[in-house]
Amino acid sequence: MFDVRRFVENSLEEIKTVVGEKRVISACSGGVDSTVATFLVHKAVGKNLMAVFIDDGLRREGEPEFVMKTLRSLGIKARLVDAKNEFFNVFKGKTDAEEKRKAFRDIFYKAFGKVCKEEKIEFVTQGTIKADIIETVKGIKSQHNVLEQIGINPKSYGYKILEPLRELFKPDVRKVARELGLPKEISERMPFPGPALSLRVLGEVTPDKISIVRKATEIVEEETKGLGAFQSFAVLHNDMATGIKNGKRVYGNIVTVRIVDSEDALTARARHVSYEILMRISERITREIPSVVRCLYDITDKPPATIEFE
Ligand code: XMP
- Helix (H) / strand (E) containing 161: strand 160-162
Reported pTM: 0.88
Please give the distance, rounded to the nearest whole angstrom, from the Cα atom of residue 127 to the centre of ligand 1: 13
Q: What is the pLDDT of residue 154?
A: 60
141 lines ligand 1 (CB under 6 A): yes
What are 292's strand-pairing partners?
A: 253
What's the gap in Å between 308 CA and the centre of ligand 1? 6
Question: Phi and psi (nearest 5°) for 272?
Answer: -80, 85
| Ligand 1 pocket check for 143: Cβ under 6 Å | yes
Atom of ligand 1 nearest to the CA of 33: 15
Give the three-state DSSP class for 141. Answer: coil
In testing the pocket of ligand 1, which one of 140, 141, 146, 235 has its CB within 8 Å of the most ligand atoms? 141
pLDDT at 148: 57
Atom of ligand 1 nearest to the CA of 305: 5
pLDDT of the residue at 158: 60
Q: Which secondary structure element, helix H or strand E, spans residue 213, and what is its range? A: helix 207-223
Q: Would you state the pLDDT for residue 152?
A: 54
Tell whether ligand 1 has an atom less than 6 A from the beta carbon of residue 177: no
pLDDT at 230 (0 to 100): 95
**Residue 306 CB less than 6 A away from ligand 1:** yes
CA distance 245 to 283: 13
CA of 22 to the centre of ligand 1 (A): 32
Q: Is the dihedral of CA 215, 187, 147, 62 positive or negative?
A: positive
What is the best residue among 140, 217, 308 to mutate for testing ligand 1's pocket, by most ligand atoms within 8 Å of CB? 308
pLDDT at 110: 85
Nearest CA to ligand 1 atom 12: 193
Taking CA atoms only, the protein residue closest to ligand 1 atom 19 is 193
**Residues 238, 285: contact at Cβ < 8 Å?**
no
Residues of the chain with pLDDT below 50 are: 150
Nearest to 277 by CA among 208, 228, 238, 244: 228
Distance 118 CA to ligand 1 centre (A): 30
Closest-lying ligand 1 atom to the alpha carbon of residue 231:
24
Q: Is 193 in the pocket of ligand 1 (CB under 6 A)?
A: yes
Question: How buried is residue 84: exposed, middle or buried, by Cβ count under 10 Å (0-12/13-18/19+)?
Answer: middle
Chain-centroid distance, C-alpha 16: 27
Q: What is the pLDDT of residues 225-283, one digit of tens each?
A: 999 999 999 999 999 999 999 999 999 999 999 999 999 888 999 999 999 999 999 99
Ligand 1 centroid to Cα of residue 243, in Å, is 32
